[in-house]
């Protein structure tokens, strides 16, 4: 399994807004998801040769003079995910919907991601007035976040399967600690971010930065899925879908 494929499948294990309208052909998967998908995926991750897996480079303008760049990023501790029921998402924590002929399958899963470790060889966040944050190696420790995603598998008349993301959103960011490698200004930023994290997140939501961050996340996920679609189809179809 390639590093990007592991990232993609983890993206597929995310908290989804189950808005299907007519839910005929949909089945709750809460009793099946651990044995059929989670356990095999965790085993594959544990058997991989590397503790960390590469992340795509990021260059995003979030508006209001705020932009974020990162290069040579990697994420670790990817087995720290579990099925969860989010307070604002009623019903099943996982749901699988399929057409009568099984040519169209949509998988939706609520997953909390705990104890993620992210290392960015070069990270910077440009601010409208203040000095740039970062421009150095940056480490993040995150717990208690959740994503929202809808992913579909479509099989044509030739039995060729295509995987695609319908949408992806950050639902909860949990708690995050940030550590910068060096820089006097960065030491101040590090203190402020780690002590005013919830306030910063609320301001990002209020001024629309979270919407732009979600758009960037969706763009990156679509690129990866387009590159690894066949392997995703093989994993999901092999998992009993």
How does DSSP assign the chain, residue by residue? Answer: --HHHHHHHHHHSS------SS-TTEEE-TTTHIIIIIHHHHHHHHHSS-SEEEE--EEEEEETTEEEEEEEEEEE-TT-EEE---TTS-S-SEEEEE-TTSSEEEEEE-EEE-SEEEEEEEEEEE-SSSPPEEEEEEEEEEESEEEEEEEEEEE-TT--EEEEEEEEEEEE--EEEEEESS-HHHHHHHHHHHHSHHHHHHHHHHTTHHHHHHHHHHHHHHHHHHHHHHHHHHHHHHTT-
* Structural domain of 226: 3-238
Say yes or no to pLDDT of 60 above 80: yes
Asked which of 29-33, 69-73, 88-92, 187-191 is least confident by mean pLDDT, the reply is 88-92
Counted domains in the chain: 1
Higher-scoring residue by pLDDT: 104, 15: 104
Point out which residues pair with 141 in neighbouring strands. Answer: 117, 177
Mean pLDDT, residues 121-136: 91
How many other CB atoms are there within 10 angstroms of residue 106's CB atom?
20
Per-residue confidence (pLDDT) for residue 202, from 0 to 100: 83
Mean pLDDT, residues 100-126: 86
Write down the pTM of the prediction.
Answer: 0.66
For 103, counting Cβ atoms within 10 Å of its Cβ (0-12 exposed, 13-18 middle, 19+ buried), the class is middle
């Amino acid at each position: 399994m390639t590093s990007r494929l592991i990232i993609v499948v983890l993206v597929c294990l995310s908290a989804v807004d189950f808005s299907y309208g007519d839910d005929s052909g949909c089945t709750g998967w809460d009793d099946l998801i651990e044995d059929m998908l989670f356990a095999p995926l965790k085993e594959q991750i544990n058997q991989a040769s590397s503790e960390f897996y590469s992340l795509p480079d990021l260059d995003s303008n979030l508006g209001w003079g705020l932009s974020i760049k990162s290069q040579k990023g990697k994420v670790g501790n990817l087995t720290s995910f579990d099925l969860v029921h989010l307070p604002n998402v009623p019903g099943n924590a996982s749901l699988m919907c399929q057409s009568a002929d099984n040519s169209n399958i949509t998988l939706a899963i609520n997953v909390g991601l705990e104890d993620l470790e992210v290392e960015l060889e070069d990270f910077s966040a440009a601010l409208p007035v203040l000095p740039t944050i970062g421009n150095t190696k940056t480490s993040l420790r995150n717990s208690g976040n959740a994503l929202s995603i809808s992913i579909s598998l479509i099989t044509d008349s030739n039995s060729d399967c295509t995987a695609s993301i319908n949408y992806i959103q950050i639902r909860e960011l949990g708690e995050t600690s940030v550590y910068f490698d060096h820089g006097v200004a960065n030491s101040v930023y590090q203190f402020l971010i780690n002590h005013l994290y919830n306030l910063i997140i609320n301001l990002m939501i209020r001024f629309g930065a979270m919407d732009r961050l979600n758009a960037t996340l969706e763009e990156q996920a679509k690129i990866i899925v387009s590159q690894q679609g066949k392997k995703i189809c093989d994993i999901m179809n092999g998992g009993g879908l």
